[in-house]
């Protein structure tokens, strides 16, 4: 019952809005009429004038479709994804054979800064067995 009533109300609302638009008959007349008719009749224009209008149209479309904020976000997302994939591949990825890892020196130096040592046979960083001289195990 409710759906029939809702459908009937929507149908009558659509009919009244459609008939109201037809019966109003008011045209919008600007106080400032256009100087030129747009789009122009290309059959009456010279090739140079056609080219001029095409360039103007392309420029206007390019300006309207420009989205600097979105472009900046997409470029930043691309940079972030490529950088994170490269960082993962160089520093964290477990290679099948570490002897053929072209980034082993970079990986070893990076983990050495945090106190880890990497051997050719191990796949993960291991805690350094040598104690740091500035680290005191027994605080007093």
Question: How crowded is residue 48: how many other Cβ atoms within 10 Å of its Cβ?
Answer: 7
Given this model, what pLDDT does residue 118 score? 75
- Kindly tell me if the per-residue pLDDT of 128 is higher than 60: no
Residue 78 banded pLDDT, cuts 50, 70, 90: very high
Domain-wise residue ranges, the chain: 68-127
Q: What is the mean pLDDT of residues 87-96?
A: 86
Given this model, what pLDDT does residue 82 score? 98
Q: Where are the beta strands (DSSP E) in the chain?
A: 116-117, 126-127
Given this model, what pLDDT does residue 27 score? 75
How far apart, in whole angstroms, are the C-alpha atoms of residue 48 and residue 96?
65
CB contact at 8 A, 87 and 80:
no
Q: What is the pLDDT of residues 108-117, one digit of tens each?
A: 888 888 888 8
Q: What is the pLDDT of residues 25-38, one digit of tens each?
A: 677 788 888 888 77
Nearest by Cα to 115 from 137, 92, 131, 91: 131
């Amino acid at each position: 019952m409710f759906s029939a009533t809702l459908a009937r109300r929507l149908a009558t609302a659509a009919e009244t809005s459609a008939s109201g638009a037809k019966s109003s008959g008011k045209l919008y007349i600007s106080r400032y009429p256009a100087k030129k008719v747009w789009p122009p009749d290309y059959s009456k224009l010279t090739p140079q004038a056609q080219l001029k209008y095409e360039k103007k149209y392309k420029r206007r479309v390019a300006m309207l479709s420009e989205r600097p904020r979105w472009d900046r976000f997409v470029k930043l997302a691309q940079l972030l994804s490529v950088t994170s994939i490269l960082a993962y591949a160089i520093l964290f990825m477990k290679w099948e054979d570490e002897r053929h890892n072209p980034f082993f020196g970079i990986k070893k130096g990076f983990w050495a800064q945090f106190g880890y040592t990497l051997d050719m046979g191990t796949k993960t960083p291991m805690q350094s067995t040598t104690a740091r001289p500035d680290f005191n195990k027994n605080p007093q």
